Homo-oligomer: A and B are copies of this chain.
Amino acid sequence: MVLEAPTPRRRAIEDAASALFRRNGYPATSIRDIASALAIRGPSLYAHVTSKEDVLWAIVDRAASRFEAAAEAAEWTTPSDSAARIAALVRAHVDVVTADPGDASVFVAEWRHLSADRRAGILARRDAYEARFRGAIAEGMASGTFAMTDPSVAATFLLSALNGIATWYRPDGHLGRDRIADYFADLATRSLTEAAR
């Protein structure tokens, strides 16, 4: 819902903060750390941001928006069976995480440091996002495609596994983004499907 386009400088600040928050966490990252990454002094940051939490919020908000948009697109273009729907949701999630592991890490690990209002807002969006997974799982169970399980447990199982990627993925690693998406889509769909024999 926050749609103002940030200035290039503001973007650079958020990107530097995102990488630092990912590595050291929000509380252990100081305003001076962020400024130092941009080769300026701490107080100079306040010409572009109003508070440290404001930077955290910008990162979390844009990450949430990306997850929402990707899932929306995935479900739009894949209205077929439940297994394909889950696979598409998984692929979309992997794409967003690997496209910006910094933002994804901050989104999953640092939202608790937001103010109470913003935290509640993010939790609600998070729940709505998870509901897509729960829905696809429940649908697959009802149609007999998926094994019996608790849709909420299974959705959390998958999303925890998916969010874990944010902590270990390195763009220069030996495993490419689409290869990860392949493996995860397979693991995820199999985890819901009755085993052979």
Q: Does A147 contact B (CB under 8 A)?
A: yes
A161 to B168, CA, bound (A): 14
In terms of DSSP, what is the predominant structure of the interface of chain A?
helix
Nearest CB to that of A147 among chain B residues? B190
Q: Does A115 contact B (CB under 8 A)?
A: no
Number of residues on chain A facing chain B (CB within 8 A) = 41
Nearest CB to that of A164 among chain B residues? B160
Q: Does A46 contact B (CB under 8 A)?
A: no
A161 to B164, CA, bound (A): 8
User: Which residues of A line the B interface, CB within 8 A?
Assistant: 23-25, 27-28, 109, 112-113, 147, 149-150, 153-154, 156-165, 167-168, 175, 180, 183-184, 186-197
